[in-house]
């Protein structure tokens, strides 16, 4: 099934750069086509639902987690396959990877789950990933959905080693989405697993929040257009690329992008550092995007070249600015400040955290979503600093790496008519 290639847009903040030398902010967007009016029959989804049943999940948390797993099963088609795996210090496969034609089998297995024991998180995830390994080629998407409310305290516990294994599984076609529940889970581990595992990372402040995360994940996987996206950037001579919205990556290598849904876009904020140039129009940057559609058809876009005129600095300063480029760069800068706030709170340095919060407020003054988020963040820091550390981490990543609706309307932030995976929430944990 082929539905066309994505559109790549490379937009500068201003239509010109200082000929004396300077910087130019740029926004690279990758837009999916609109969903076809009649969607052809998709290849099956293969999902491994891995639930934490350790002692800390006793009661409402486990009941809600089971209800959310039931929600996913109920929404799968008979041709889709699912596995149900539970873990504490032991791992049990309640249902091996099986077509979801007999949903009662899954629902009955889930209703029999009981809590107890410690948290062999890695072992549970690994069994979930291995359950998908033999049938990756048959599916449009093979994904582990891991839920936990705790720390990995049994078996392998090192986040870097677990993350590397998630990355290796992603390379083999098995991605990982994580859902953290409550206040006790290790957000750095859960987010690293999802980031390196090519999936999404969510968390809920209470059991009631979990279903919303599952709805968001299911909304995403049901509308996916392409995955394994990378943007390769080639600077012109005399130009250096600075990655603004991606941390820990090199602009010399293909930069990973989020999965892409129909009618949505993913983006990359970069800053070009340009040496002195003579007056006239110059090629500054070229971009190629690669990926694969959900039927595993690979694609490579045509090269998109950014050109801009070299102008006197006084002229450039008077040029109008592209609002979307400015907004997304401000969000990327805000993400960096949220990371610094989190580090300050870890050190007990509330004075520095407050100063940085004031800086974010300035960046957010014309951004309703960010503005509301910072107000909620301040309140959460005062009420529950441990939970605020989680919210800071998840909001930081959402600002840096998210899908957005094409032609995103800044006045419609969390409207119910926007697909769940494209909504901009004030608080990521709700």
What is 246-290 written as a DSSP string?
-SS--TTSPEE---EETTEEEEEEEEEEE----SEEEEEEEEEEE
- DSSP assigned state of 76: S
Mode of pairing for the β-strands spanning 280-293 and 45-52? unpaired
pLDDT at 154: 83
CA distance 81 to 59: 28
Helix (H, G, I), strand (E, B) or coil at 64: helix
**Architecture in CATH of 7-35+225-309:** Sandwich (2.60)
pLDDT value at residue 218: 85
Of 362, 359, 319, the closest CA to residue 339 belongs to: 359
Reported CATH class of domain 45-222: alpha beta
Q: Please check whether residue 194 is in contact with residue 170, taking contact to mean a CB–CB distance below 8 angstroms.
A: no
CATH 3.40.50.410 in the chain, residue ranges:
45-222
* Residues lower than pLDDT 50 in the chain: 1-2
Q: What is the pLDDT of residue 36?
A: 78
Q: Which pLDDT score is estimated for 14?
A: 98
Rounded to whole angstroms, the Cα distance separating 82 from 144 reads 10
Instruction: Supply the pLDDT for residue 211.
Output: 78
Q: How far apart are CA 286 and CA 234, in angstroms?
A: 5
d(C-alpha 327, C-alpha 332), whole Å: 9
Q: Please name the residues in contact with 298: beta carbons below 8 A apart, sequence gap of 6 or more.
A: 290, 291, 292
The DSSP code for 173 is T
Q: Say which residues have a Cβ less than 8 Å from residue 194's Cβ, sequence separation at least 6.
A: 166, 176, 177, 178, 200, 201
In sequence order, the 6+-apart residues with CB closer than 8 A to the CB of 372 are 413, 426
Residues with Cβ within 8 Å of residue 273, at least 6 apart in sequence: 22, 23, 239, 240, 241, 242
Q: Within the chain, what is the greatest distance between any pair of CA atoms?
A: 73
pLDDT at 38: 61
Identify the three-state secondary structure at position 19.
coil
How many other C-beta atoms lie within 10 A of the C-beta of residue 381? 20
Please, where in the chain does CATH 2.60.40.3670 lie?
7-35+225-309
């Amino acid at each position: 099934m082929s539905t066309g290639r994505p559109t790549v847009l490379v937009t500068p903040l201003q239509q010109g750069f200082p000929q004396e030398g300077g910087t130019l902010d740029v926004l690279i967007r990758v837009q999916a086509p609109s969903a076809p009016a009649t969607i052809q029959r998709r290849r099956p989804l293969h999902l491994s639902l891995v639930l934490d049943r350790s002692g800390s999940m006793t009661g409402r948390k486990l009941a809600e987690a089971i209800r959310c797993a039931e929600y996913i099963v109920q929404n799968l088609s008979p041709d889709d396959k699912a596995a149900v795996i539970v873990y504490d210090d032991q791992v049990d496969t309640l249902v091996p990877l099986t077509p979801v034609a007999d949903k009662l089998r899954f629902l009955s297995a889930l209703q029999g789950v009981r809590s107890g024991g410690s948290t062999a998180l890695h072992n549970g995830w690994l069994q979930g990933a291995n359950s998908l390994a033999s049938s990756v080629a048959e599916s449009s998407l093979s994904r582990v959905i891991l839920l936990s409310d705790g720390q990995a305290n049994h078996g392998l516990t090192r986040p870097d080693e677990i993350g590397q294994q998630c990355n290796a599984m992603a390379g083999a076609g098995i991605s990982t989405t994580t859902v953290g529940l409550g206040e006790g889970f290790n957000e750095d581990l859960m987010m690293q697993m999802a980031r390196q595992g090519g999936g999404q990372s969510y968390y809920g402040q209470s059991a009631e929040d979990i279903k919303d995360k599952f709805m968001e994940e299911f909304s995403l996987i049901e509308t996916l257009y392409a995955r394994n996206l990378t943007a390769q950037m080639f600077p012109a001579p005399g130009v250096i690329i600075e990655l603004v919205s991606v941390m820990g990556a090199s602009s010399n290598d293909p930069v990973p992008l989020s999965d892409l849904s129909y009618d949505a876009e993913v983006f990359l904020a970069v800053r070009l550092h340009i040496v002195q140039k003579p007056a006239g129009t110059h090629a500054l940057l070229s971009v190629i995007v690669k990926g694969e559609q959900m039927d595993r058809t690979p694609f490579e876009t045509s090269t998109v070249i950014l050109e801009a005129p070299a102008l006197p600095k006084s002229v450039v300063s008077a040029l109008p600015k592209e609002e979307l480029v400015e907004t997304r760069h401000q969000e990327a800068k805000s993400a960096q400040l949220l990371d610094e706030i989190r580090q300050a709170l870890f050190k007990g340095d509330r004075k520095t955290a407050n100063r940085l919060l004031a800086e974010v407020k300035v960046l957010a003054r014309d951004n309703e979503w960010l503005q509301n988020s910072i107000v909620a963040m301040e309140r959460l820091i005062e009420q529950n600093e441990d939970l605020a550390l989680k919210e800071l981490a998840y909001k930081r990543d959402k600002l840096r790496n998210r899908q957005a609706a094409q032609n995103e309307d800044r006045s419609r932030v969390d409207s119910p008519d926007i697909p769940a995976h494209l909504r901009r929430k004030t608080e990521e944990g709700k």
